[in-house]
Amino acid sequence: MDVPPPHRPPASARPAAVLVLFGEGPDGPDLLLIERAATLNKHAGQPAFPGGGVDPEDDGPVAAALREAWEETGVEASGVDVLATLPELYLGRSDYRVTPVAAWWREPCEVSANDPREVAAVARVPIAELADPANRVTVGHPSGFAGPGFRVRGMLVWGFTAGLLTQLLDVGGWSLPWDPTRIEELPPEALRLAARG
């Protein structure tokens, strides 16, 4: 994956990791996403990959991604095969340098929002739905920001997660032509939550 200069993290940024978990779901190959709780101080209400900060007791980003996925959704690390760590990406709004950890869900288990203080919902989103041009939009923000987005499983996926999903679709050869001029503005509630961090 190519990392453009604005997304290359400074060494001073705090380490974090997300689990990019591919599996064979009931509707075909899929990825696990969560919706963060609206009460969080950072990234409240946003769809995301399971993950969070690397704690001192974690043995690096892989351990952190697996621990966070377990805490947030109940994914059991014993059923997950880690495939690779992807290049670090900078999440400037919260000053994190995020390592995406790509993995295969060899033995899927039941998942749910384990801690409602952190996670509002959990969804297995088929890759076919993410690639479907009908589900792809450009998300606009009053600040002038515009970036890729996805309308899937009742969620508007935008920001960091949508950018990473776009890269994954491209690298995996799953991307289909879509209309980037189809713009959807962030809804007021998402704007209110995003303003908190």
Residue 43 pLDDT greater than 90, yes or no: no
Taking the C-alpha atoms of residue 137 and residue 31, their distance in angstroms, rounded to an integer, is 19
Q: Which two tokens stand for residue 34?
A: 């969560």
Phi/psi at 73 (nearest 5 deg)?
A: -130, -15
140-195 pLDDT per residue, tens? 988 888 999 999 999 999 999 999 999 999 999 999 999 999 999 987 676 665 66
Highest CATH level, class, for 5-190: alpha beta
Domain ranges of the chain: 5-190
Residue with tokens 């050869």: 173
Q: What percent of the chain has pLDDT over 70?
A: 93
List the one residue out of 188, 43, 53, 184 whose CA is nearest residue 120.
Answer: 43
Taking the C-alpha atoms of residue 130 and residue 174, their distance in angstroms, rounded to an integer, is 9
Q: pTM (2 decimals)? A: 0.92
89-91 and 80-85 beta bridge pairing: unpaired
